[in-house]
Structure 1
Amino acid sequence: MIELDGSAGEGGGQILRSGLALSMCTGQPLRITRIRAKRPKPGLMRQHLACVQAAQTVCDAVVHGAELGSSTLSFEPGAVRAGDYRFVVGTAGSCTLVLQTVLPALMRASAASRVELSGGTHNPMAPPVHFIQRCFAPLLARLGVQLQLSLGRHGFYPAGGGEAVALITPPEEGRLQPFDLMERGERREGYAECLTPGLPRHVASRELQALGAALGWSGDQLRELPARQNEGPGNALMATLAYEQVTELVTAFGEKGRSADSVAAAVVAEVRAFQRSAGAVGPHLADQWALPLALAVVDSGHPARYTLTELTEHARSNFGVIEAFLPVACTMDRLEGGWAVTIRPR
């Protein structure tokens, strides 16, 4: 059994999600203590419990401690089953974090799967659906996995109610193929989009105008996205930077009392930081990319590398969980303008 300390490193929910994912992938039982010990409200919250329940469903696991507020969990996985699933997070708990928990196992299953998700699609503490579609899924395709994620309805904090559907097709040959991602390549395009369902239209105009003035973007680079019926209220300002090898998406969320200029400034600052760095991927993708790439390294027996703009405590914690489950070593080297991560068999 793999024992994980949920208070290690950044001490948040990523340790739980990665532990569940790798337990399913490897068949090794998991016991995690002090879950989310460094968060203001430690233990399993509703969205973390949804991740546990989704993982249990996918592999018919035997689980103890799966209840709200629990700080200890044991998880004994059974065989992973491809299939047609529906997972309801409730309120604005993140759909994408539930998807990321079950995705590694389903992308190595014997057949394709369809996963319906209900909950939050855009919230400040998780990758929005647009990020998975544009940044994460294209890299998975290069490993051999097809992930098609469609958005039916936006779900914002605190109401949630979002809907998304993921179609997951494992590699035809049954094994993931790793690759190095050392450079972004040539820049292809940059554009900003604003979501403001249930809010006055001038909110989007002001945020886009402020962002465009700061970054020198105009015209078709500044886009107001239409709302679907009965969505919102909610506000997300997103900037997409598409390069030859990778795409980065930066998001800031509006809230009551926060000015349009403040929302735009947050996006601009992160865009400029990314542009100044030499790393291929930003801090969020750097964390999320490690697990599928490590599985590909195990499948192939060959090392793989990627560069990143910033090495966060979140990423370091994830590397530790990966090394606990898989026969790989993750090394991090400082580079001018970023970092390089190497994952190699051991």
Structure 2
Amino acid sequence: MPHHLPIVLDGSAGEGGGQILRTALALAAITGKPFAIDRIRANREKAGLRPQHREAARAVARLCDARLEGDEVGATRLEFVPRRPVRAGEWAFDIGTAGSTPLLFQTVCWPLALAGAPSTLTLRGGTHQDHAPSFHYLALVWAPAVARLGFRFELGLQAAGFYPEGGGEFTARVEPAHAMPALDLRHRGTLQDVEVVSMVCGLGFEVAERQAARAMRLLRDAGISAQAERVPLPSRASRGGHVLVVSTFQRGRAGHGAVGEPDRSPEETAEEAVRDFRAYLEGGAALDRHLGDQLLLPAALLAAGLVPAAPGVVPTTRYTVHAVTKHLTTNADVIRRFLDVEIAITGGEGEEGDVRVQPPGATAEVVPLPPSPQ
């Protein structure tokens, strides 16, 4: 790997959570640039590395044989020095707790997608939890979106894992990234379909029925036509419920979900998911606030030339997002430290925003894609 001076990051900057570390790990493995991060997750109630963050660091280190210092639970400083290019292959990662496997996957998938050959992964831990994308959000909303940027992932759920038991597992196949046209998602088009996916794991199926019934009633009262699917999730030791409202527009999808909690009824879980969806629907942005953050890194990899661009196309990505969040702006700051790209975000925090990711000095306008098949 080429020699670089370490990039020094402040883990308390911006949103001050684990995303700073996860983005840095992915980009360090891709670029070969070492980094050190201080004050890890300083803005969280339990600062420092939690088991899922430690496993993310160790997982990416395995991919590129990196030297790690400070990879212990509770550590507030970590150093990461890649020593060779990322290796594609078969990998298994176990968080050991109910920590988020989707977030772990969103850390390792980008280096593996650029490794030049397919990879298969098995990830164990939590699969459905608040404050992280659920497995079903990944499969139904995120994966189709990043496929339009040239990143193809096939996901399969073996067992659901809810907090606090965990015990979840999913598998993934990572295909090598390939060239795609520039992406313009400033306009979502008309609403075509709304589906309520009401899931239950280790609980009576009546919980799924109650979640679905409440969500459908709220949508019907709002004049929104929808259909519901009630899904029993495979489980080994975990219990929980999840509601995901998947909305399909002419030019993409959005997802709004909530995970059941011991002190929340199935009806309240449904109400939270529908409330978030209706707030998004009242605006005009193409992407939900989570997808707006999660598309930033793959868009930057294209803009940096790490994925070959389609002939004659400037690899510029443009999209609107329902809410500009600290996750989004902090992610942009970390990406700029590793990649020579231009990221412009307009809109105040909590407001609808416009995001543009492009090579330095690019002036060509992106060409809108036709409606994506859903």
TM-score computed with the length of structure 1 as normaliser: 0.94
SS at match of 1:305: strand
1:205 aligns with 2:219: no
What amino acid is the match of 1:31? A
1:326, CA displacement in angstroms?
Answer: 0.7
Q: Which residue of 1 aligns with 2:357?
A: 343
Take 1:154 and 1:83, find their aligned partners in 2: how far apart are those partners? 24
The number of residue pairs the alignment matches comes to 343
Partners of 1:245 and 1:96 in 2: CA distance? 24
1:147-166 alignment to 2 at 5 Å?
147-166=153-172
- Report how far residue 177 of structure 1 moved: 5.2
Q: 1:67 aligns with which of 64, 72, 80?
A: 72
Question: What secondary structure does 2:195 align onto?
Answer: strand
2:291 & 2:331 partners in 1: Cα distance? 12
2:58 aligned to 48, 53, 60, which one? 53
Judge conservation of contact 2:159–2:236 (CA < 8 Å) in 1: no
Q: Is the 8 A contact 1:305 1:343 kept in 2?
A: yes
Q: Which residue of 1 aligns with 2:339?
A: 326
Q: 1:73 to 1:298 in 2, by over 3 A?
A: same
Mark the CA change 1:104 to 1:227 in structure 2 (over 3 Å): closer, same or farther. Answer: closer
Q: Deviations over 1:286-336 (max 9, x none)?
A: 11110000111111454321110100011111010011111112111239x
Q: Does the 8 Å contact 1:178/1:297 carry over to 2?
A: no
C-alpha distance after superposition, 1:6-63 (max 9, x if no partner): 0000100000000101111111101110000010100000000010011001111011
- The 5-angstrom pairing of residues 82-121 of structure 1 reads 82-121=88-127
Q: Which residue of 2 aligns with 1:191?
A: 195
Alignment gaps of 5+ in structure 1: none
1:206 is displaced (CA, Å) by 1.9
- 8 A contact 2:137–2:244 mirrored in 1: no
**Which whole-Å CA distance do the structure 1 matches of 2:34 and 2:86 have between them?**
13
Query: Is the 1:177–1:296 Cα contact (8 Å) retained in structure 2?
Result: no
Query: 2: CA distance between counterparts of 1:31 and 1:91?
Result: 26
1:114 Cα shift? 0.6
Say if 1:261 and 1:119 are closer, same or farther in 2 by CA, change over 3 A.
Answer: same
In the superposition, the TM-score normalised over structure 2's length comes to: 0.87
Aligned to 1:32, what secondary structure does the other structure show? strand
Structure 2: distance between partners of 1:230 and 1:106? 29
Distance 1:257 1:131 in 2: 23
Match of residue 225, structure 1, among 222, 226, 231: 231
Supply the distance in 1 between the matched residues of 2:219 and 2:103 (Cα, whole angstroms). Answer: 31
- Greater Cα shift, 244-253 or 67-76: 244-253
1:222 Cα offset (Å): 1.9
CA distance in 1, matches of 2:266, 2:193: 24
Letter of the structure 1 residue corresponding to residue 51 of structure 2: R
Q: CA deviation at 1:229?
A: 5.2
Q: Which runs of 5+ in 2 are unaligned?
A: 1-5, 361-374
Distance in 1 (CA, whole Å) between partners of 2:321 and 2:15 is 18
**CA drift at 1:231:** 4.9
The equivalent residue for 2:370 is: none
The answer (yes or no) to whether the contact 2:20–2:330 under 8 Å persists in 1 is: yes
- SS of residue paired to 1:291: helix
CA contact 1:196–1:232 (8 Å) conserved in 2 = no
Q: How does 1:230-245 map to 2 (within 5 A)?
A: 230-245=236-251
Hey, what does 2:261 align to over in structure 1? 255
Match of 1:24 in 2: 29
| 1:239-271 deviation per Cα after TM superposition (whole angstroms, max 9, x unaligned) | 111123221111111111212332122111101
The 10-residue stretch of structure 1 (199-208 or 109-118) with the greater mean CA deviation from structure 2:
199-208
- Aligned CA distance change for structure 1 residues 155 and 116 (closer, same or farther; 3 Å): same
Q: Which moved more, 1:194-203 or 1:318-327?
A: 194-203
- Cα offset, 1:232, TM superposition: 2.8
Match of 2:364 in 1: none
1:114-143 CA distances to partner (integer Å, 9 max, x unpaired)?
111111111112111111112221122222
CA distance in 2, matches of 1:233, 1:302: 44
Q: Is the 8 A contact 2:168 2:235 kept in 1?
A: no
Q: Which amino acid aligns with 1:161?
A: G
